[in-house]
Amino acid sequence: MKAVLETDDLPPLDVLLPLERAGERLEPRPDEAELLALFTDRLPVDPPRGVHVRVNMVSSVDGAATGVDQRSGTINDRADFRVFRTLRALADVVLVGAQTARVERYTALDVPDGLAEARRAFGRAPEVELAIVSASGDLPPGLLDEERPPIVVTTSASPRLDALREQIGPERVIVTESDAGVVDLRVALAALGARGLSHVLAEGGPTLLGQLLESDLVDELCVTTSPLLVGGPAPRIVHSTDWFNPARHLRPLHLLHGDGVLLGRWQVVRLGA
């Protein structure tokens, strides 16, 4: 769906929050100027911590992050697509876990023409980078063979470290040290920021989001709630081994509605703030 929808096929979005804008209707347009204005409000030009991490996830009403095929594409729709493409247009880099990249069949990221113009106006590079987190470094060969391969975030213990550097170039590999064989996401984000990729859009999956939240690295959470009940053993949008202690608090920034879908943007209150 995300590859074929045109602007004329997309629904209007109605503003529910903030209250002072409730009732406004955001019609679809190639440059999505009104949506861009919403999502750049309170977005720092130069993030104070070096990077700004925004997460975008989708959930059914009963809390499932995927459908029966284990893909989020099964539970999203046209309204979600409008926000999805707008958020990508504002990102320097999209960060995903390796399993999500495999299941959702990620490839090099493209930006629609209308949003590409807006992207340039915000000072972004023409292309959105893709960064994949994989402690093992084991990724689908086809993905690494792209003309513009992803940045791979891995560990010094990865058995594929040398092969990755040879295949996609050492400049496309971010290596973190970890005794537990787990990627140090704080180090990884700092490395992305050092490359000028300061606006990070994380698209999951639930384990990556759980790790980012556990490390207090998330600034914003965008959640699409689809009007579906899917049942089954589906994951939630956040997976972690332990309860968050303390629980993370959120502040609503805006809420949109379209085609029965609710699209929320939340500020994550950082620990100690």
Average pLDDT over residues 105-115: 93
For residues 200 and 72, give the distance between their C-alpha atoms in angstroms, rounded to a whole number.
20
What would the mean pLDDT of 37-43 be, rounded to a whole number? Answer: 96
Q: What pLDDT does residue 180 have?
A: 80
pLDDT greater than 90 at residue 7: no
pLDDT the model gives residue 140? 83
Cα distance between residue 125 and residue 53, in whole Å: 18
How many angstroms separate the CA atoms of 189 and 95, rounded?
10
Q: Let me know if 185 is exposed, middle or buried by CB neighbors in 10 A (0-12, 13-18, 19+).
A: buried
> Tell me, what's the pLDDT at 3?
44
Provide CB contacts within 8 A for 96, sequence distance 6+.
104, 106, 130, 131, 132, 133, 202, 203, 204, 205, 208
Gap between the Cα atoms of 106 and 41, Å rounded: 29
**Could you report the per-residue pLDDT of 189-219, keeping only the tens digit for each?**
999 999 999 999 999 999 999 999 999 999 9
How far separated are the first and last CA of the chain, in Å rounded?
A: 40
- Whether pLDDT at 31 is above 70: yes
Say whether domain 51-268 belongs to CATH 3.40.430.10.
yes
pLDDT of residue 142: 86
Share of the chain above pLDDT 70, in %: 98
The 10s digit of each residue's pLDDT in 46-99 is 998 999 999 999 999 999 999 999 999 999 999 999 999 999 999 999 999 999
What mean pLDDT comes out for the span 16-36? 97
pLDDT of residue 5: 59
Q: How many residues does the chain have?
A: 273
**Contact, 22 vs 15, CB < 8 A?**
yes
Report the pLDDT value the prediction gives residue 135, as an integer from 0 to 100. Answer: 95
pLDDT band per the 50, 70, 90 thresholds, residue 227: very high
Only one residue has tokens 């990865």, namely: 158
> Which residues, 6+ apart, have CB-to-CB distance to 67 below 8 Å?
60, 73, 74, 75, 230, 234
Instruction: Give 2's pLDDT tier (boundaries 50, 70, 90).
Output: very low
At 157 the pLDDT is: 93
Q: What are the structural domain ranges in the chain? A: 51-268
φ, ψ of residue 22 in degrees (nearest 5): -60, 135
Q: Taking residues 224-249, report their average pLDDT.
A: 96
pTM of the predicted model, to two decimals? Answer: 0.95
- What pLDDT band is residue 12 in, cutting at 50, 70 and 90? very high
Cis ω before 48 (30° cut-off from 0): no
User: Tokens in use for 224?
Assistant: 């699409």
Residues 45-59: tens digit of each pLDDT: 999 899 999 999 999
Among candidate residues 163, 244, 166, the one with its CA nearest the CA of residue 210: 244
Provide the mean pLDDT of the chain.
94
121-125 long-range contacts (CB < 8 A, ≥24 apart) are 122/36, 122/40, 122/90, 124/89, 124/90, 124/91, 124/92, 124/199, 125/92, 125/196
Q: Which pLDDT tens digit goes with each residue over 168-193?
A: 999 999 999 877 889 999 999 999 99
Taking 80 as the threshold, does the pLDDT of residue 148 lie above it? yes
- Tell me: pLDDT of 8 over 80: no
